[in-house]
Amino acid sequence: MMQVKIGDFTISRDSAPFIVAEAGINHNGEIEKAFEMIRIAKKAGVDAIKFQTFKAEEFVANSDLTFTYKSQGTEITESMMELFKRHEFTRDQWFEIKKKCDELDLLFFSTPQNYSDLKLLLDVGIPAIKIGSDDLINLPLLKDYSTSGLPIILSCGMSNLAEIYEALNVIGTFEEYPTILLLTTSQYPTPTKDVNLLKLTTLSEAFPNLPLGFSDHTSGPLASSLALALGARVFEKHFTINHTLPGPDHWFSEDPANLKIWSDSIKQSYEMLGDRIIRPTKIEEDMKNIARRSIVALCDIKENDLFDSINLGLRRPGNGLPPKILDQIVGKRATKNIKKGNILQFGDFK
């Protein structure tokens, strides 16, 4: 079973959840907003915050390419190049963002769009590489990223099983390159009918050694809690400072209060999983004596009386002889006088 080390966290099929707040580009290219998002993520109790690192000219083909999105209640169409240029940070700013994360003891990492972006992030310092669903079939880039030796977290939205296998093969996952695979649906937000959490069981069966996770694009905490029960251990979710901010991702992202609810819900769900051993809890052990039944005299019984279904019954508390031996006592005789309501003991029958 593969174990993946990210910072001080060890992630496997059975590990505690690793929770990532996805800032993405919701900082709107303003470093003070990025700092505020870091503080929000820390307050929400997540383990890490993730951004997106890119240079628009290196991954958008030309300035004529447009993108239509919802923002502040209206539909906006604009140049994709201009949109992403507004959300770039300089090299120095990435170092400042990393420093702020370190100050708050929050893991920092980011999704690079190209190898040049990864080189920058390696200089800044990241514990893992997050690859978005858009680059799952970008095999040359995956191969380049795997030369870093850093763990790779790979989202698999928009893909089929064959494409996922091909990507993992190029990364070197089947030769034990540290990899985590995230179930993803690239719809924002993802409607209930398209979440398909049972895909986690398919991925688990197809790649039995691989730690799994869930990139949650739904609204609310429910999907992640269910995903955890199905084996996911790494979680990420978009969040925003405020839904009313301009930009393509704010309207469907979680606000600060709901980010914390989401994070807390995952942790509570993990605690609820408990362990696989069927045994009473400590409190249940005490409850046995209160809730279970014992063999009890239903009337006054005299010495040498015959025990039968009339003078014996099953009543609380449960700290006497258990119901399973009632049939063995019926037909035997009392060795002494027994008052109504007394719990039978060994030695009371012969």
Dump pLDDT digits (tens) for 44-73: 999 999 999 999 899 887 888 999 999 999
The CA distance from 134 to 181, in Å, is 14
Domain presence at residue 336: yes
The CA distance from 187 to 262, in Å, is 19
pLDDT of residue 303: 98
Which residues are paired to 79 by β-bridges? Answer: 66
Residues 206 and 151 in one domain: yes
Residues 199 and 268 in one domain: yes
Q: Starting from the edge strand earliest in sequence, which strands make up the sheet with 107-112, in order?
A: 107-112, 48-53, 18-24, 232-238, 212-216, 179-184, 152-155, 129-131
Residues 339 and 212 in one domain: no
pLDDT of residue 62: 83
Domain presence at residue 19: yes
Among positive and negative, which fits the CA dihedral 266, 267, 268, 270?
A: positive
Residues 188 and 171 in one domain: yes
The CA distance from 71 to 28, in Å, is 12
Cβ-Cβ contacts under 8 Å for 289 (sequence gap 6 or more): 317, 318, 319
Give the three-class secondary structure for 315.
strand
Residues 140 and 261 in one domain: yes
The CA distance from 295 to 154, in Å, is 61
Rounded to whole angstroms, what are the CA distances from 73 to 98, 252, 258, 270? 33, 11, 20, 36
Residues 289 and 266 in one domain: no
Cβ-Cβ contacts under 8 Å for 117 (sequence gap 6 or more): 53, 54, 55, 58
Q: Which two tokens stand for residue 329?
A: 């006592």
- For residue 133, give the amino acid letter: S
Expressed as residue numbers, the domain containing 337 is: 282-343
Q: Which two tokens stand for residue 48?
A: 């890490």
Domain presence at residue 207: yes
Among positive and negative, which fits the CA dihedral 297, 298, 301, 304?
A: negative
pLDDT of residue 347: 97
Q: For the chain, which ranges sit under pLDDT 70?
A: none
Domain with residue 240: its CATH number is 3.20.20.70
Boundary of a domain, candidates 246, 273, 300:
273
Residues 264 and 289 in one domain: no
pLDDT of residue 11: 99
Boundary of a domain, candidates 245, 273, 301:
273
**Could you tell me where the beta strands, DSSP code E, fall in the chain?**
4-6, 9-11, 18-24, 48-53, 66-71, 74-79, 107-112, 129-131, 152-155, 179-184, 212-216, 232-238, 294-297, 312-315
**Residues 195/217, Cβ–Cβ less than 8 Å:** no
As a whole-number percent, the residues of the chain with pLDDT over 70 amount to 100
Give the three-class secondary structure for 76.
strand
Residues 300 and 244 in one domain: no
Residues 263 and 319 in one domain: no
Domain presence at residue 348: no
Domain with residue 308: its CATH number is 3.90.1210.10
Q: Which two tokens stand for residue 139?
A: 């095999």
Note the maximum CA span of the chain.
103
Residues 128 and 38 in one domain: yes
Domain presence at residue 349: no
Domain presence at residue 329: yes
**Residues 45/267, Cβ–Cβ less than 8 Å:** yes
Residues 189 and 262 in one domain: yes
Domain presence at residue 350: no
Boundary of a domain, candidates 273, 298, 330:
273
Domain presence at residue 122: yes
**Could you tell me where the beta strands, DSSP code E, fall in 152-273?**
152-155, 179-184, 212-216, 232-238
Residues 123 and 145 in one domain: yes
- Structural domains of the chain, count: 2
